[in-house]
Amino acid sequence: MQLKTLVQDCLYVNWALPSERLPRLPAPLRYDLHAVDSGGQYGFVSALLFRQKGLRMTAVPWIKLTYSQLNLRFYVVDDHGVPSVFFRTLMVPPWVAPLARVAGQPFLGPGLLDYPRPSRQRQAPSWRWRATARGTLLLAARQAAPRAQPQPAIGSWESTCDYFRRRDRGYVRAGAGLRRIETTHVPTTLWPMAVDVHRDSLLRRLLDFPTGESLPEVHSAWLCPEMPLHFSLAPVGRGALPRGVPAPG
């Protein structure tokens, strides 16, 4: 299945989590881990909050959908050694929920998504994103110069962006196996951002954090004003998932 869309005003927020805090992955995926000076291994998780404009299948291009989305993704390596993304869950407005279920997406459930349009409000000093579904994620962000990263550091600002963005292969659970998503990325403008997390109960729930345990500080963040995206969905081997792997969300 071939699909096209235009991603608009995508806020990309990244955290580094210790390996013991990362959820189990379905085989054959493994985490892309990084050592830190103090010891231990860390992997990355990102929350992407964006507006998807004109999503359509290439076979029926006259049917187009536009809606906001939140998705949660981890950075992995597949059995071919290809750096990839594992999509843990996504949240969409209530009217899109039936379509997400039919498409077999890692669907959290319908939620309330209140997002700004920074590309149309460039003079604003900051913007706020809110996503609510049995918990709330409330973020405030503003444009800022690239800053020194907490460990694990990936390298320069450009290297950090490339590490997260230039992964053309993604995976989602599909029944007892996986579905692979092949994407085509194009160079695009990125705004470095400083992000303040005001409420994080939704994200802590999705990451299975114990009550009262705080998220680490934001590792890095940016905003992509606009990016065309072309992707395809294909099943992969349907081996059984490891025992104990939780359902999305």
CA–CA dist 194, 149 (Å, integer): 12
Q: What percent of the chain has pLDDT over 70?
A: 84
pLDDT at 177 over 70: yes
| Mean pLDDT, rounded, for 54-65 | 72
In this prediction the pTM is 0.88
Q: Which domains does the chain have, with CATH numbers?
A: 2-235 (2.40.400.10)
Residue 103 CA, distance from chain mean position: 18
Binned at pLDDT 50, 70 and 90, residue 229 comes out as confident
Q: Which pLDDT tens digit goes with each residue over 72-121?
A: 999 999 999 999 999 998 888 887 766 655 455 566 667 899 999 999 99
Closest CA to 236 of 190, 183, 192, 172: 172
Q: What is the mean pLDDT of the chain?
A: 86
pLDDT at 243: 35
CA–CA dist 101, 174 (Å, integer): 11
DSSP class of 96:
G
Contacts for 191 with CB less than 8 Å, ≥ 6 apart = 118, 143, 222, 223, 224, 225
CA–CA dist 12, 22 (Å, integer): 19
pLDDT at 249 over 80: no
Q: Which pLDDT tens digit goes with each residue over 187-199?
A: 899 999 999 999 9
- Phi, psi of 156, rounded to the nearest 5 degrees: -65, 170
